[in-house]
Chain A
């Protein structure tokens, strides 16, 4: 059975206009209780095994505690580090038997919303994959929108042209992912079954040229078509 722990000693989540304040820890406990699971507070005296799921506010951890949690993930536990700031690594799997995720606070809430009632540890990792796929697809759509929306501003138009022609800009955003990751995020179908996403595939082929690609890799994608195809395909499905 999955054992769930929370470590969040400080911090309140406030709205921008300051009309409400919510303790993150209480929010997590309440969300998990709604899923029918009890969360206990973690302290570093508690040894974590491969059935453990830990949610830890990264800024509250000492170096010792952070190292202990990373080691637990390496031994099989599932650990989520969250913060309200910029979290650079979505997932670190190298040398880990378990899973180590670095997420923005709002992503933690989203991740938990995907979990079924009385969830098991494997559900967390499935939910993370669903979350990751959703964000990859959304990011493709957002960037395609930014590259193709009429702006009426000369300076922005120049930046848009850069994004339409410079693949390195895209690759910097999708650093750590490859063509296959993005293809998988589109759903479990082969390229030949994705005629409704043909322009999206053109974009992926442009970003990560593949030897088995049937498309001329020099063809620049039409970003407004990429956007239209993603909206049509995922608008209702996601």
Chain B
């Protein structure tokens, strides 16, 4: 497994699912009234904010290097394809990389879009939580007075994160058969 692939897995599993989505799930449970609390604690918002900033930065870095790291050009470094002479290797790389680019550009664009969608939903949630904090009652929150706007934004953010996770999984296309099945026209048998 390459370092890039390890980073992709870590980002999707450890950072997105285990950190960011866990923080968000707790906020959702509070907003749904399933956890009794006097509003969403500030440190929880701070935790979500820290997790998002880290996730966003690392995801951008990962996407910036994705094309090089996922490229079929890397296949020719390994045995036995490194036995190819320079001329054959050059045209094969050109052919596969150009086909690969056509299919990967779309996946990468969709992943970037999923990331910017999260950014938007995250900002809306943060704003509504801030408003909630300013208007919060002195007594403990009860389910019947839950702010539905904040809850809707939180649920929207949760769904967007699931979409990003699916997109990040699609980038796990270093498997040769997986890539070859997407590029060109594989005849159905």
Contacts and interface: CB of A to CB of B under 8 A. Distances in A.
A140 to B, nearest CB: 10
Contacts of A145: 96, 180, 183-184
B84 to A, nearest CB: 6
Contact of B80 (A113, A136, A169, A234): A136
A162 B181 CA distance: 24
Contacts, number: 119
A143 B180 CA distance: 11
Contacts of A106: 2, 74, 77-78
A87 B80 CA distance: 9
Given A104-B78, A138-B75, A146-B96, A231 B64 contact: no
B99 A175 contact: no
Contacts of B175: 238
Contacts of A90: 79-80
B68 A16 contact: yes
A228 B79 contact: no
Interface string B69-97: 00010110111111110011001101110
A94 interface: no
B187 A225 contact: yes
A224 B187 contact: yes
A139 B81 contact: yes
B176 A149 contact: no
Size class of A's contact patch? 35 or more
B95 A146 contact: yes
B187 A15 contact: no
Nearest to A198: B189
Contacts of A16: 65, 68
Contacts of A156: 91, 94-95
Contacts of B92: 142-143, 146
B176 A142 contact: yes
Size class of B's contact patch? 35 or more
A217 B64 CA distance: 48
B134 interface: no
Interface of A: prevailing SS: helix
A4 interface: no
Nearest to A15: B65
Contact of B83 (A20, A142, A163, A175): A175
B111 to A, nearest CB: 18
B189 A225 contact: yes
Residue of B87, B88, B187 with most partner-chain A CB within 10 A: B187
Interface of B: 1-3, 61, 64-65, 68, 72, 74-75, 77-84, 87-88, 91-92, 94-96, 99, 175-178, 180-181, 183-189
14 contacts: A17-B64, A88-B79, A104-B77, A109-B3, A138-B177, A142-B72, A142-B180, A145-B180, A145-B184, A149-B99, A149-B183, A155-B91, A159-B88, A225-B189
7 tightest Cβ-Cβ pairs between the two chains A and B = A138-B176, A228-B187, A146-B92, A149-B184, A235-B177, A113-B1, A228-B189
Interface of A: 13, 15-17, 19-20, 22, 27, 86-88, 90, 103-104, 106-107, 109-110, 113, 135-136, 138-139, 141-143, 145-146, 148-151, 155-156, 159, 163, 169, 172-175, 177, 196, 224-225, 227-232, 234-235, 238
Given A141-B176, A156-B94, 19 more contacts: A86-B82, A88-B83, A109-B2, A135-B79, A138-B176, A142-B72, A142-B92, A143-B81, A146-B92, A148-B184, A149-B184, A159-B88, A173-B80, A174-B80, A224-B186, A225-B187, A227-B180, A228-B186, A238-B175
